[in-house]
Amino acid sequence: MLNKDQIAQRIAKEVQNGQYINLGIGIPTLVANYIPDNLEVVLQSENGLLGIGPFPTEDKIDPDLINAGKQTITMAKGSVLFNSAESFAMIRGGHVHLTILGAMEVSETGDIANWKIPGKMVKGMGGAMDLVASAENIIVAMQHCSRDGKSKLLQKCSLPITGIRCVKKIVTDIAVLDILPEGGFKLIERAPGVSVEEIKEKTAGKLVVEGEIPEMKFD
């Protein structure tokens, strides 16, 4: 089973040179730590920055420079600032190549639920609905099952939906899976030591297994 950093590390392998990328809060934020130095990519913060740098040292903290998770940040070389309308124009217009975000549930047709649990205090969808409705390529980082052992990869989401037919790939603590255009979770890789059988058991939606499923490799 992968820990959060390993999920992030595995997702980082999907990053390609020259991409503009939006990283959601949580595990997705960790992906930045594993993007190889030889790749030139630009991280977008939807509150108005292209070119997120590392967190600041104590003396460089600026309250006027935060990311979408409200954390203090720095700007990378060549970065650019803009307003929220321009930021979502970029997102909606399909200019961001890759969006990585967390989820509570994903359906076998690529629907995602990640903003609301009925009966609990609703905090709002923030930019998630815009991101999932707009991005060409969405990778979800999530735990395969909830704490009480229920699969979060379902035939149909049970929670209120954030967006429909949008997720392309999922990296969980036990597997990497693609969403097939015709529907279904296609198993691509297993976490080290995890069997196909276990993944089958833990996937409530339609799982497609073809041929030998390799174990993930970490450098």
Partner 1 sequence: MINKTVADAKVAVADVFSDSVLMLGGFGLSGIPENCIQALLEKDLSGLTCISNNAGVDDFGIGLMLKKKMVKKMISSYVGENAEFERQLLSGELEVELIPQGTLAERVRAGGAGIPAFFTPAGVGTEVADGKEIREFEGKLYLLERWLKADFAFVKAWKGDTAGNLIFKGTARNFNPMMAAAGRITIAEVEELVPAGELDPNAIHTPGIYVQRIFQGKDYEKRIEQRTVSKR
For position 80 contacting partner 1 by CB under 8 A, the verdict is yes
What x-and-dash track marks residues 142-161 binding partner 1 by CB under 8 A?
Answer: ------------------xx
Cα dihedral 176/204/166/186 (nearest 10): 40
Q: How far is CA 103 from the centre of its chain?
A: 8
Report DSSP state, residue 200. Answer: H
Q: What angle do CA 152, 12, 9 make, to 5 degrees?
A: 70
Of the residues 3, 5, 16, 86, which one makes contact with partner 1 according to CB under 8 A:
86
Say if CB 102 and CB 115 are below 8 A apart: no
Shortest CB 64 distance to partner 1, Å: 4
d(CA 82, CA 47): 8
For position 91 contacting partner 1 by CB under 8 A, the verdict is yes
The residue annotated as part of the active site, out of 40, 46, 108, 182, is 46
For position 79 contacting partner 1 by CB under 8 A, the verdict is yes
Residue placing its CB nearer to partner 1 in the complex, 75 or 196: 75
Active site residue 46: yes
Of 188-207, binders to partner 1 (CB under 8 A) are none
The set of catalytic residues is 46
